[in-house]
Structure 1
Amino acid sequence: MIKAYSYIRMSTEQQLKGDSLRRQKELSANYAKLKNWELIESIEGRDLADIGISALHSKNATEGALGTFLTAIKEGRVVTGSVLLVENLDRLSRASALTAFNQFSSILEAGIEIVTLSDKKHYTKESVNSNFSDLFISIGIMFRSNEESEIKSKRLKAAWENKRNAAQQKPITRCRPAWLDYDERSKKFLPLKKRVEIVKLIFEMCISTCGLYGIARYLNESHVPVFGRGKFWHRSYIKKIICNRSVLGEFQPMTTENNIRKYIGESINNYYPQIIKEDTFLLANAALVQRNKADKGRKGKSFSNIFTGLVYCGACGSKMTLKNRGMPPKGGKSLCCTNKQVSAGCMMPEWKLAEFENILFKHLREINFSSLISGEKNPLATLEEQQRVLQEKKNNREMNIERILTTIENEDLIDRAKKELILRMNQYVSECENLSKLIEDSAQKIQQEKDITIYFESVNMNNFLDLSKNKEDDYYTRSAIHQLLVKTIKKITLLQEVEKYPYEYDEDDKEIISFRAKYQFYRNENLSSFVENKDFLRFALPFRRYITVKYTTGEERQIWCGDDTSHLGNWSLGGAYMQYNL
């Protein structure tokens, strides 16, 4: 029985909503049945269908299912005498006539017959060689298909370019971020005041060293209304808000290819109302990156516990003291509740000193200690903040340059659009050079400020923490750090068994990852199927620890150990949001 391969192609996924797919499949099935051929609709487990793939630049032949079929022909896995069924020749290619004909003839040369189902026309190597009309007909169809696609492509590109140029006067689309509304009468986007305030709060908390988990927890516990249909705030959505340049008023046109979202050219400035300043946006995103860096290193010996006198048990209120259990791995130094040591009824487990210091040091690196001491912002902190903003600006310009290069390389642009992109790219290159000089100057100023900063008034707590690692036997260095901590921190409280709601779990939580790794049965199970399971709750108990740090200024910071996140505990949305009991 002759094998008949059915190939289907549609340029856009929107055509799935119409009749094209059904029509092409039905034509192939009916004709194969009429001819008593074996209908084959896939090859090597891949459907012989290219949905949303254009044939104008032969993407279907290089990246799509047609390419898989052509490779199978070359490797002899499609036997001579087989048939390729297509609705029209333009389903195979809309490239230039010569490119399309080379592909067409290579299939025929391999002994594969091509049948166009719309007109029941059969093309074989023999028919084309013996009948010039078949040859001319096929070339004519290919030329017409390419010409139609080229004209359509140019018109669409010109129309899109006109829309981009007029975007600030008339929006391209009504799609908008959740903190904006669209006014039909004025044809403009308008900020939703309450939601804008929530977005501003999220950025403020992120900059002030509050992690994504801490922000989500605060918003949920404060009953702040969620944007959209969701019931709770999740870290992933909060991160999208922080990284979304729409807050700056930018609109980034996008398209979908093979179910993957891709940028179309540059973003359009001043498209939406700007609700966040650029420096605020850059600082928040720099803070996200900074918090991914973990601190490591063994602590000193001579002044073993630099937190002496500051740490208290959250269960009973007694002090936590240092207990040396001998040499690791079974032994080691731990913080132990004094009431538990004397069997006074406290059940607080011991805390490994090294783990406790790692957690505290990570978050202390983010604190402006001079500000806590004097109440004023240290010049060094200002300089470092300015440098982070400059670096984020440079990163953004470099990303724009990369997008422009990709667009010029991959898109068939009209000359005017290409010239405009090149001009903008040159402008970004010039801005990157200027920003590099400013960053270099900033680095020199920071170094000068560090050189003249008095040891105990240094804003950069990192220096002290690094000294504690590099001079682990130096009693005076670690004693100096202890004095600075006592000067700025009033109390550190250790707590455990904080209840975590099922909706607060995400796939990337440490307890989820660890639980799946240890128990293979749950490796592929849905998250909601086991987060309330007794085995999981028992396993996750060590992750339910958190630390409260109260500063001498009255501020408090809560640090969740399992998720390695923290936030200050005195946030408020202002009078406009008192109805949410914040």
Structure 2
Amino acid sequence: MGLPSGLPAAPPPAIAYSYLRLSSKRQVSKGDGERYRDGFQRQIELRDAYLAENPHLTLDTRFNLHDIGVSAYTRANIAEGGTGKLRLFVNEVEAGRIAAGSYLLVESLDRVSRAEINIAQELLLRLVNNGIIVRSIIDRQTYHARSDPMQFIISIVYLMRAHDESLMKAARLRETWVRKRANIGKRKLTARIPSWLEVDGDGFRPHGHRKRIVERIFSELADGQGRDAIARGLNRDGEPTWGKGRAWHGGVIQKITDTRAVLGEFRPHRLEFSIRNGIKVGKRIPAGDVIPDYYPAVIDEELWDRARRVADARRLGTTPNAGGRQGTRISNLFGMVAECAMCGKPMNYRDRGPRSTIVLICSTSRAGTCANDVRIPYLETEDAVLTWFVQVDLSKADAGEMQRLEQSLRDAIARRDGLQAEAETLMRAFGRGDRFAEPAIDRIRGEVATIEKGISETSATLLTLREAGGSDGREPAIALMLDLDRANAPDEERYAARIRVRQMLRDTVTSMRCRQDGHVDIVAIDGSMHRFRDGYWLHEGRWHPSGPGLFGFSRKVSKKVEARRRAWLEAAVAAYEDP
């Protein structure tokens, strides 16, 4: 039986696809009653009400067409190759996997696009021409292939207004931050501050406990501990995190140790956005000069320099096992510093148990690729090197050499800054990704990396030479390490003490070459050469035993070792061996 005459025909059944988009994740309610910010829930309620009024529509549940935190102004939701869900929908339509006559339900057209009018209108027409019915719920407009042409003219007005609103919002936001940066001397730029500070009226003050944690982090980094090891120590001590994280990790430590805000400096930045693989990506670009004393400093320049020296060496790959896990003990103070004098390969630390002698051996000798099969007794060598280490005075380095290093450092910094300015000019002129600019930028990037490696090494040498008068902090650090070793203290305490001494050695020793005749030659950063063998240190033409006079103990050796020592010592005295 047909419908009564005079009544409109019921629309045919169809599938409806719901597209929900928010430009910011902050528009999603966290369930705390802030409904006025819940744009996501509002879109759902409007959609459900429309479906209830149109029972011929069945909501599709295969596709989750939700773009949360995705911009329609920058076209991130429709970019080719991107992850935008509207891009997925368009692809499915054009591939014929979504049937003609299906509905696309949106709150309004500005959810689909806020791009320039030619882009936005083309997107709407592409959907309609492929048989999709687009329903803008809030303004009660339906767009399909048989719509009145005037309706599409009206859609141009809607889409232009959406683009103009986004354009104006972006311009006003930029102007606001320009004004804030211009008035930074009169008013703090933002209330968002580093986690170790607190707001104090119109200024900031250090958070007492967190300031001490920052000092601890920098001190441990300067002593040679990796960022992961520092994080493990904080977790082991039950130190609560400063944010939402449940535990400390190396990435958090790196953020703290890489910012000069700990020295009180502030560098204004602006966000520069680009689309990469269809995703809107923001990059912080410096926007003004560094402002000293903007924050209260929580560490001093000396601690910063010592920590950066270690961090830069790890970053540039000049520290052996940079960033690598060391375990819970540091057995070898010369790890990767000691090398074979014949082949230049590392000397391996070998400990085969309490009844064996701990030795350093060439890492390639077992494979037969190096003829240096000498076994350097480790413990005796450690004693001898530490005896020298607490007495060596590097502060007498030639003044001309210091001036040469300082001039070299200034030249390298000027060259690096010039290259970086050249790269910025290229990117502004051609744009990122330009096929003409990219090769030049890659070349500059490689040169800057090489220069920065040299800057790090030269800075470390200068800093160590300036600090190296007398025994500096070396003697108490070595005494503590030996006391903890003899007392068989917990691994964590011994680890911290030994890694600190190891870092001091790395800062001071340029090379440590193990010769086939059993001699160990060390070159210090001031260019001086020092020789060791079997627990003895060659100083002013005489071989001096280590240990008893300085550390208050001596090691027992076997008769075989004693006889070997006596033989070469007698030969050395007879030959008046000279270093």
TM superposition score category, shorter chain reference: 0.5 to 0.7
In 2, distance between residues paired with 1:73 and 1:400? 47
1:84 aligned onto 2:104: yes
CA RMSD, aligned part only? 5.8
From 13, 25, 38, the equivalent of 1:13 is: 25
1:286 aligned onto 2:312: yes
In 1, distance between residues paired with 2:93 and 2:20? 17
The TM-score with structure 1 as length reference comes to: 0.55
In 2, distance between residues paired with 1:375 and 1:178? 41
Distance 1:72 1:135, change over 3 A: same
Higher helix fraction: Structure 1 or Structure 2? Answer: 1
Q: CA deviation at 1:73?
A: 1.9
1:203 aligned onto 2:218: yes
From 50, 65, 68, the equivalent of 1:51 is: 68
In 2, distance between residues paired with 1:387 and 1:378? 20
Query: Alignment identity in percent?
Result: 23
Q: CA deviation at 1:94?
A: 1.0
Distance 1:3 1:218, change over 3 A: closer
1:153 aligned onto 2:170: yes
Contact 1:488 1:551 in 2 (8 A): no
Distance 1:156 1:459, change over 3 A: closer
Contact 2:221 2:307 in 1 (8 A): no
Superposition map of 1:140-539 within 5 A: 140-184=157-201, 187-192=202-207, 195-212=210-227, 215=230, 228=242, 235-248=250-263, 249-251=265-267, 262-266=282-286, 269-270=290-291, 271-274=294-297, 275-277=299-301, 279-280=305-306, 282-289=308-315, 290-291=318-319, 292-293=321-322, 295=336, 320=357, 372-377=390-395, 379=397, 461-465=509-513, 468=514, 474-478=516-520, 483=532, 486=535
* Counterpart amino acid of residue 165 in structure 2: E
Contact 1:371 1:378 in 2 (8 A): no
Q: CA deviation at 1:176?
A: 1.8
**1:501-544 deviations in whole A, cap 9, x for unaligned?**
xxxxxxxxxxxxxxxxxxxxxxxxxxxxxxxxxxxxxxxxxxxx
Structure 2 gaps, min length 5: 1-12, 30-36, 325-335, 367-373, 433-443, 466-504, 523-529, 539-546, 553-579
Q: CA deviation at 1:320?
A: 4.0
Q: CA deviation at 1:124?
A: 1.0
**1:333-381 deviations in whole A, cap 9, x for unaligned?**
xxxxxxxxxxxxxxxxxxxx99x98x999x99xx999754414447499
Q: CA deviation at 1:20?
A: 1.6
**1:286-326 deviations in whole A, cap 9, x for unaligned?**
1443444474999699xxx9999x9998xx9x9845699xx
Contact 1:264 1:407 in 2 (8 A): no
Contact 2:18 2:65 in 1 (8 A): yes
In 2, distance between residues paired with 1:51 and 1:211? 37
**1:356-413 deviations in whole A, cap 9, x for unaligned?**
98x999x99xx999754414447499788998999799889988998998899999xx
Contact 2:115 2:163 in 1 (8 A): yes
Q: What SS does structure 2 have at the residue aligned with 1:59?
A: coil
Contact 2:271 2:285 in 1 (8 A): no
Q: CA deviation at 1:88?
A: 0.9
Contact 2:109 2:158 in 1 (8 A): yes
In 1, distance between residues paired with 2:424 and 2:60? 41
The TM-score with structure 2 as length reference comes to: 0.56
* Counterpart amino acid of residue 87 in structure 1: E
Contact 1:115 1:123 in 2 (8 A): yes
Q: What SS does structure 1 have at the residue aligned with 2:67?
A: strand
**Counterpart in 1 of 2:137?**
117
**Counterpart in 1 of 2:499?**
none
Q: What SS does structure 1 have at the residue aligned with 2:512?
A: helix
**1:254-288 deviations in whole A, cap 9, x for unaligned?**
88999999443326632423444364563242144
1:3 aligned onto 2:15: yes
Q: CA deviation at 1:205?
A: 3.4
**1:105-143 deviations in whole A, cap 9, x for unaligned?**
11111111111111332111221xxx2311211111111
1:67 aligned onto 2:87: yes
* Counterpart amino acid of residue 25 in structure 1: I
From 39, 48, 51, the equivalent of 1:32 is: 51
In 2, distance between residues paired with 1:369 and 1:260? 59
**Relative CO higher for 1 or 2, CA cutoff 8 Å, sep ≥ 6?**
1
Distance 1:374 1:98, change over 3 A: same
Q: What SS does structure 1 have at the residue aligned with 2:532?
A: helix
* Counterpart amino acid of residue 95 in structure 2: E
Distance 1:436 1:242, change over 3 A: closer
Q: What SS does structure 2 have at the residue aligned with 1:122?
A: strand
**Counterpart in 2 of 1:571?**
none
In 2, distance between residues paired with 1:238 and 1:396? 27
**Counterpart in 2 of 1:22?**
41
The higher radius of gyration belongs to 2
**How many pairs does the alignment contain?**
418
